[in-house]
Amino acid sequence: MAKNNCFHCGLDIVKEEHPSTDSYRYELTKQILFDGKEFCCNGCKTVYEIFSLNDLTCYYDFENAPGATPQDIDGKYDFLDNESIVIKLLEFQEDTAAIISLNIPHIHCSSCIWILENLQRLQKGINTSQVNFPEKKVRINYNPEIVSLKNIIYLLSSIGYEPYISLENYETGKNNVDRSLTYKLGVAFFCFGNIMLLSFPEYFEVKEYWLDNYKPFFRGLIFALSLPSFLYSASGYYVSAYKSIKTKMLNIDIPIALGIVVMFIRSTFDIVMDYGPGFFDSLTGLIFFMLLGKMFQIKTYSFLSFERDFKSYFPIAITKVISDTLEESVPIYDVQKGDRLLIRNQELIPVDGILISDKADIDYSFVTGEAIPITKKSGDKVFAGGKQIGKVIEMEVLHSVSQSYLTQLWSNDVFQKNVEQKHKTITDSISRYFTPILLLIAFAGFGYWIFFDANTAFNVFTAVLIVACPCALALTAPFTMGNMLRILGNKHFYLKNALVIEQLAKVDTIVFDKTGTITTNTKSNISYEGEVLTESNLVLIKNVLRASNHPLSRMLYDFLPEGKRLKLDSFEEITGKGIQATINGVKLQMGSAALCSPPSEGSVEVLQTSVHVKIDDVYYGKYVFNNEYREGLSELFGKLSTQYQIKVLSGDNEGERSLLESILPKGIEMIFNQKPEQKLEFIKKLQEQGKNVMMVGDGLNDAGALAQSNVGISISENVNVFSPACDAILDAKEFKKLHYFLKLSKKAITTIKMSFTLSLLYNVVGLSFAITGNLLPLVAAIVMPLSTITIVSFVTVMSNYYSRKLG
C-alpha cells in the first residue's frame, strides 16, 4: 500500500498494488487526476477548478494543502430564501449594500485569509470581505440586488469554508461558550490528585506486606488514571503540534507535545518492565499546570476585552428629546430602546432606529465605504454608523447602543494608518526561531546525558522541552497594551486600538486647533452688535442653529432664549464659511463675513470671533464671542512645551492673538485664518520635516488634518461629532490631563521593554537549570505557567503603578 496526498486538502489518497502479467501496476482507489495534480474527490477538484478559472491559484503558495473537502449541502440553507430570517442575520442592509459577519470554523492559516479576502473575484456582487482570524469570522459587504446571501453561503461551502449559522444565537444575542478547556482542566486535576495519592507509598518506599504484594495493581491503576489526562486533557497540544508541522510553521506546542509523549512512553516502559513507578504523577501534574496557565491567560485577556468594550467610557454625547420643548445631552451609553434622539448635521447615528422625521439623507461611508448619501423616509429603519447630512432629524431607538460595534466600525481597515509595529516584529522573530532552537538544545542535552545516566537524560530532555516558553514574550505587548487601553478608557480617553499607544509614545510635535479645542463650547461671553432682532427673527435663528454642530453654533444656540420649534425647509452647512437655510420661505445666512457680506468694518472690529446674521438678503448684525479658554490650558501648555513643539491653528482671525500670547508660554507658533485644507497641508509639511505629529481638534472642520497626522485626537464636548479619521476621543473635561496621557503611553513602552528582559532572563535561567539536570520535569511544568502568570501580573501591576504615580 502506498499513499499520496490530495493537492487541495492534504488527505491521504490510498494506492493499492495489484500484480499484473508483466509487472506491478498501480490502481488508484478514490484518486482523481486533473491538471497534473491528484485529488481525493470531485469536491476538491472542483474547488481547484474554481480557483484556476479565477486566477486564484496563489492560494496554494502560502501553505501546502490548505483547503477542506467541500460537503454536500443541497437544501441545507433553503431557509435563507425567507427575507425575515435574512434580516435577523444582517448587521446592515440598504438597497445596494448589506453586511454580514459569518463564523467560519475552518479558518486556520494564511491561505484561508487570502482566499476569503478575495471573494469578490469569485462572485460578482461581493464588494469587500475582511477576516477576523482570532474569532474565525469573515465580514462580507455585498450588493443584495446582484447576489443573495444564500448564494454567498453556497459559494463559501463550495470552496470548503462552510459557515456555522445558528439563528438562536442571532436572535438572543448570545454566543455559545466553549467550555472544553474547563472540562480538560477538571479531568487533569482529577487524574493528578488521585495519582499523587496512590503514589505516596512509592515516594516514601514504605515496606509493608500488603503494599508490596499489590504494587502491580496500584501501578496499573495509576497508568489507567493517567490515560484520560494524556489522551483528552492534553489533546489540544497534539492537534496544534500536528497542524504546525503540517503547515511547516513550528510553534511552541511541538516541544510541549513531544515532552508529554516521551514522558508517557518512558513511564509506561518503566511499569511494564518493572523498573519503577514511572513519572505519571509528573506527567499529569505537568498537563494540569500548563492548562491552568492557559486558563489564566484566557481569563485575563477576556477581562481586559470586556473592560474595554463594556465598561470603558466611549466619550460621545447624544441629544435626547424629552418633550417638544425640552432636549437633554446624555452620554451615548445611557440611550435605551424607545428613546427619541435628535441628530444634527454631520452627527453619527449611534444605534439602529426608526426615522420619525419626514425625510433624511444618511451617509453610510463609515459602514460600507460608499460616500453616496441614501434618502430615507419617515418610518424607515436607519442603521448605526450612518452620518446625518442636512437639516436636523429625529429618530426612535430600537435597542441600546453596542459600543463594541461602534469600536469595530472605527477599527475598519479603511481608516487605519500604516504603522510599523516594532514590538510585534520582535515577538514574531523570536517565536519563529524559538522552537527549532529549543528542540536542538533538548536533543543535545539528551545526547550528552545518555552516556552518564539514562534517567537524568530523560529528565533533561523533558525539562528543557517544558520549561522554555516564548508565551511570556508573546504576551508582553498584548497584555501591556490591553491593560493600558482599559486604564485610559476608564479615564475618559478612548483609543481606537493598541497601536495608538505606540504612536503616542513617538510624538514630538503637537498641533492644536483653537475653536472648540482649546476654547470651551459651554462658556463664552456673547454680545450682539447690529439692528435689533425681533422675537420671530430670534426663533428663526435658534431653529437654524439647532441643526448645526459647529462649536460657535452650539454656544450661540445655548445663549439664545427658548422658542417655538419650526421645521427647516432646507439646510446647508458650508465648511469654513457658515450656514444657509430656509424656514417657512424665509432665507437665513449665518457665519463668516465672507458668506454674509457685511458693510465695511473698522480694522479693530474685524479682529473678533463673530457670527454674522443675514435674513432674506438683509444684513442685520453679528454676535461677538469673547472665548473662554479651557481650565488648566496655561498649565498644560507649560508642561507640554518642555518636551514637545507646540503649534496652534485656527480658522478665526487674529483677534485673540494677544490674549493667547499672554496665556500661553513663549515660543508657541500661532497661525490664524486657516481653512480645513490648509490645516491638512500644514500637518503634511511638518511630517515632511521628519516630525511625528499629533493633531488635537474637534473633528468637525479638521477631519482631514486628524486623518493626516500620526495621531489624531478628537475632543468631545456634549456633541456627537465622531470622525472615524481620528485615533482617539478625549472627553473635554479631561483635556488638562493630556500631558499625563502622553507620559503614560511612554511608560507603557518602558513596561514592555522591562517585561521583555524579564521573559528572556526567565528562559535563560530555566534552560540553564534544565540542561544541567537540576530541574525535574514536574517543577518545569509548574514554573512554565508560573512564568506567564508572573509576566501578566508584572505588566498589570506596573501599568497600574504608573497610572497612579503619574496621575
Q: What is the pLDDT of residue 305?
A: 55
Q: Are strands 340-343 and 645-649 parallel, antiparallel or unpaired?
A: unpaired
C-alpha cell at 565: 420649534
Phi and psi for 257 in degrees, rounded to 5? -60, -40
C-alpha cell at 342: 435628535
Q: What is the pLDDT of residue 495?
A: 83
Please, are residues 344 and 366 in contact by the beta-carbon 8 Å criterion? no
Grid look-up 511544568 returns: 781
C-alpha cell at 446: 539528551
Contacts of 212 (CB under 8 A, 6+ apart): none
Question: Cβ-count burial of 460 within 10 angstroms (0-12 exposed, 13-18 middle, 19+ buried)?
Answer: buried
**What is the enclosing helix (H) or strand (E) of 599?**
none
- Helices 535-545 and 551-559 pack at an angle, to 10 degrees, of 140
Please, are residues 38 and 44 in contact by the beta-carbon 8 Å criterion? no
Its sign, for the CA torsion 204, 209, 210, 216, is positive
Cα–Cα nearest to 393, from 318, 338, 330, 316: 318
What is the rounded distance in angstroms from the CA atom of residue 157 to the CA atom of residue 545? 53
What is the rounded distance in angstroms from the CA atom of residue 88 to the CA atom of residue 97? 15
Q: Which residues of 730-769 are buried (b: 16+ CB within 10 A; e: fewer)?
A: bbbebbbbbbbbbbbbbbbbebbeebbebbeebbeebbeb
Q: What is the pLDDT of residue 613?
A: 94
Could you report the per-residue pLDDT of 274-291, keeping only the tens digit for each? Answer: 777 777 887 887 788 778
**What is the enclosing helix (H) or strand (E) of 643?**
none
C-alpha cell at 658: 494677544
Question: Hey, is 72 helix, strand or coil?
Answer: coil
Report which DSSP code applies to 585: T
The length of the chain is 807
Q: Where are the alpha helices (DSSP H) in 205-333?
A: 209-213, 215-228, 235-246, 253-272, 280-306
Secondary structure E strands in 340-491: 340-343, 353-355, 359-363, 374-377, 381-382, 387-389, 393-397
Neighbours of 608 (CB within 10 A): 17
Question: Hey, is 190 helix, strand or coil?
Answer: helix
What is the rounded distance in angstroms from the CA atom of residue 643 to the CA atom of residue 739? 10
Cα–Cα nearest to 551, from 629, 657, 640: 629
Residue 729 pairs in a beta bridge with 494, 714
Q: Where are the alpha helices (DSSP H) in 508-625?
A: 535-545, 551-559, 593-596, 603-606
> Does the predicted model carry a pTM greater than 0.75?
no
Neighbours of 544 (CB within 10 A): 26
Listing DSSP states for 333-373 in one string gives GG--TT-EEEE-TT-B--S-EEE-SSEEEEE-HHHHS--S-
C-alpha cell at 715: 475632543
C-alpha cell at 489: 478608557
Contacts of 268 (CB under 8 A, 6+ apart): 223, 278
Please, are residues 375 and 423 in contact by the beta-carbon 8 Å criterion? no
Phi and psi for 794 in degrees, rounded to 5? -60, -50
Residue 714 pairs in a beta bridge with 697, 729
Please, are residues 7 and 48 in contact by the beta-carbon 8 Å criterion? yes
Q: What does R_g of the chain's alpha carbons equal in angstroms?
A: 33
Please, are residues 126 and 77 in contact by the beta-carbon 8 Å criterion? no
What is the rounded distance in angstroms from the CA atom of residue 717 to the CA atom of residue 511? 19
What is the rounded distance in angstroms from the CA atom of residue 15 to the CA atom of residue 408? 50
Contacts of 298 (CB under 8 A, 6+ apart): 181
The one-letter amino acid at 413: D
What is the rounded distance in angstroms from the CA atom of residue 747 to the CA atom of residue 727? 19
Please, are residues 382 and 352 in contact by the beta-carbon 8 Å criterion? yes
Grid look-up 465580514 returns: 139
What is the rounded distance in angstroms from the CA atom of residue 247 to the CA atom of residue 241? 10
Neighbours of 563 (CB within 10 A): 15
What is the rounded distance in angstroms from the CA atom of residue 369 to the CA atom of residue 364? 7
Q: Which residues of 182-221 are buried (b: 16+ CB within 10 A; e: fewer)?
A: eebbebbbbbbebbeebbebbeeeeeeeeeeeeeeeebee
What is the rounded distance in angstroms from the CA atom of residue 217 to the CA atom of residue 257? 28
Q: What is the pLDDT of residue 419?
A: 54
Q: Where are the alpha helices (DSSP H) in 93-162?
A: 110-116, 149-158
What is the rounded distance in angstroms from the CA atom of residue 207 to the CA atom of residue 108? 55
Cα–Cα nearest to 121, from 57, 39, 73: 57
What is the rounded distance in angstroms from the CA atom of residue 569 to the CA atom of residue 419? 46
CA–CA distances in Å: residue 374 to residues 370, 381, 389, 474, 498: 10, 12, 10, 45, 34
Cα–Cα nearest to 508, from 662, 709, 273: 709
Residue 716 pairs in a beta bridge with 731
Task: Give the CA count within 13 Å in the CB-facing half-sphere of 307.
Answer: 18
Question: Cβ-count burial of 674 within 10 angstroms (0-12 exposed, 13-18 middle, 19+ buried)?
Answer: buried
Mean pLDDT by 10 residues, the chain (807 residues): 66 54 38 75 71 71 59 71 82 83 77 79 86 80 90 84 67 56 90 83 60 75 90 86 69 74 82 75 79 70 53 60 78 81 82 88 74 83 83 86 61 55 53 74 85 81 73 69 82 81 89 82 77 90 87 84 85 85 92 83 58 91 84 87 88 77 84 83 90 84 79 74 72 87 90 83 82 75 71 84 82
Contacts of 187 (CB under 8 A, 6+ apart): 228, 229, 232, 233
What is the rounded distance in angstroms from the CA atom of residue 589 to the CA atom of residue 282? 82
